[in-house]
Amino acid sequence: MQPLIDTFGRVHKDLRISVTDRCNFRCQYCMPEEGMVWLDRSEILTFDEIYRIANILVERFGLESIRLTGGEPTLRRELHVLVSRLASLGVELSMTTNGATLERHAVDLFEAGLTRINISLDTLDRQKFVELTRRDQLQQVIEGIDAAKQAGFDPVKVNVMLMKGINDTEIIDFLEFGRTSDVVIRFIEFMPLDAGEEWSQDRVVAASEIMDQVTEHYRSESLERGSSPAERFRFEPKSDVSSDLGENAQWGEFGIIASVSEPFCESCDRIRLTSDGQLRNCLFALEHLDLRALLRGGGTDEQLAKAIVEEVEAKRSGHNIGQVYFIRPSKSMSQVGG
Ligand code: SAM
Ligand code: SF4
């Protein structure tokens, strides 16, 4: 087995696959309200094409995990069929979703072999939810979280993308939501990948600011980080500390993904496949490998593998957000696959 290694010695074991560029939401920080130009169906990789690439990565390069994303992955028809094919590769298989259709899909996806699920939810306030996502579907997402738990996903993780002045007042509400509904909360820093190009450093809620709020209300302890990009903690309300609880059920777990304030580029093990078959070695990559052209042009597995090796070798050391020489990629989060 050949490791998929770049010139900085990083071994790549995780693949993000965007299965569609479309979405049923229009989150302010991700897509414009109108005017997205969607890919034509013929441009999107088929399940056979996705499977072929994944299989090469697993068999030749020891890929260990795959995350399905988008756009909104649950909008891809027959997604459970792709899930069961990828699950047969024996990798850890996860998905990031906005949760709105999970009530319908959670059981099928779990039974098809999806092992982990992250549901994105940035506010618990209905009005704010409408403003942020431009859809009135908070209730559906809450029901989706319940449906995922009922289907057997454990733990269910809820991704909260924090933005200054918008939802940074809800950090404690989310922690309580997580603790009482038994889901793991993962706070994510806002990155310059919004289609509206409204990102600025002062809108990022940094990990240190999150921790300031946490320590005001909770007692927290670091947990083993493993290979996760999230710093992980368990926590319980300070007022409960003196009353000898001794019950794990009283504790919650949260994580922080500090991609901007504390980048984890030096341990990054990810590559990304867009829905139209571009292999990208970084969310912020300015170039890509057109795997679809190779696949549809009759490329052999050998040729595909060689091109993948070269693409990974070309990976830069980091994203450089906040540096004067940072260059914003032309593709937004929903187009690359978050
Ligand atoms: N539609 C699915 C969802 O929302 O979970 C999957 C795709 S979405 C692009 C994946 C993740 O990217 C979500 O958790 C979302 O909050 C996050 N995201 C989108 N735009 C972002 C940005 N500009 N900065 C940081 N995270 C972002
Ligand atoms: Fe859709 Fe996810 Fe982007 Fe929101 S973050 S617009 S749900 S792809």
Q: Give the pLDDT confidence of 195-234 residue by residue, as tens digits.
A: 777 888 899 999 999 999 999 999 999 998 776 788 999 9
pLDDT at 273: 97
Interval 106-132 mean pLDDT: 98
Residue 197 lies in a domain: yes
Query: If you count them, how many residues does the chain have?
Result: 338
CATH of the domain at 265: 3.20.20.70
Average pLDDT over residues 77-89: 98
Tell me the percentage of the chain whose pLDDT exceeds 90.
75
pLDDT over 70 (residue 303):
yes
Q: Does ligand 1 come within 6 angstroms of the Cβ of 120?
A: yes
Q: Give 25 or 244, the one with higher predicted confidence.
A: 25
What's the rounded mean pLDDT across residues 4-19?
96
Q: Percent of the chain at pLDDT above 70? A: 91
Weakest mean pLDDT among 6-15, 45-54, 115-124, 283-292: 283-292
Task: With respect to residue 109, please indicate whether it lies within any of the assigned structural domains.
Answer: yes
24 has a pLDDT exceeding 70: yes
Q: What is the 3-state secondary structure (H, E, C) of the chain?
A: CCCCECCCCCECCEEEEECCCCCCCCCCCCCCCCCCCCCCHHHCCCHHHHHHHHHHHHHHHCCCEEEEECCCHHHCCCHHHHHHHHHCCCCEEEEEECCCCHHHHHHHHHHHCCCEEEEECCCCCHHHHHHHHCCCCHHHHHHHHHHHHHHCCCCEEEEEEEECCCCHHHHHHHHHHHHHHCCEEEEEECCCCCCCCCCCHHHECCHHHHHHHHHHHEEEEEECCCCCCCEEEEEEEHHHHCCCCCCHHHCEEEEEECCCCCCCHHHCCEEEECCCCEEECCCCCCCCEEHHHHHHCCCCHHHHHHHHHHHHHCCCCCCCCCCCCCCCCCCCHHHHCC
| Rg (the chain; Cα; Å) | 20
Q: Tell whether the model's pLDDT for residue 295 goes beyond 80.
A: yes
Q: Output the CA 69–ligand 2 centroid distance in Å.
A: 10
Q: Which residue has the tokens 């809108």?
A: 203
pLDDT at 332 over 70: no
Q: Please indicate whether residue 23, judged by its CB atom, sits closer than 6 Å to ligand 2.
A: yes
pLDDT of amino acid 337: 65
What pLDDT shows up at residue 318? 78
pLDDT of residue 336: 66
Residue 25 domain flag: yes
Query: pLDDT tier at 324 (50, 70, 90 boundaries)?
Result: low
Whether residue 147 is contained in a domain is answered as: yes
For range 135-140, the mean pLDDT: 98
For residue 169, is pLDDT > 50?
yes
What pLDDT does residue 89 have?
98
pLDDT at 286: 79
Judge if pTM exceeds 0.85.
yes
Q: Quick check: is 8 in a domain?
A: no
> Domain span at residue 87?
14-336
Task: Determine, yes or no, domain membership for 313.
Answer: yes
Residue 270 CB coordination number (10 Å): 18
Domain for residue 4, yes or no?
no
From the CA of 333, the nearest ligand is 1
**What pLDDT score does 333 carry?**
66
The residue whose CA has the least distance to atom 17 of ligand 1 is 338
In a domain? residue 1: no
Q: Quick: pLDDT tens for 226-266.
A: 767 889 999 999 865 444 444 544 789 999 998 888 877 88
pLDDT at position 121, please? 98
Ligand of minimum distance to the alpha carbon of 123: 1
Asked if the model's pLDDT at residue 189 lies above 60, the reply is yes
Residue scoring higher pLDDT (230 or 323): 230
Q: Judge if the beta carbon of residue 161 lies within 6 A of ligand 2.
A: no
Predicted local distance difference test score (pLDDT) of residue 242:
44
Q: How far is the CA of 334 from the centre of ligand 1 (A)?
A: 7
**Amino acid type, 125:** D
Q: Is the CB of 22 under 6 A from ligand 2?
A: no
Work out the average pLDDT over 161-189: 95
- Higher-pLDDT residue of 31, 105: 105
For the chain, what is the domain count?
1
Higher pLDDT, 244 or 300: 300
Nearest-atom number in ligand 1 for the CA of 30 is 20
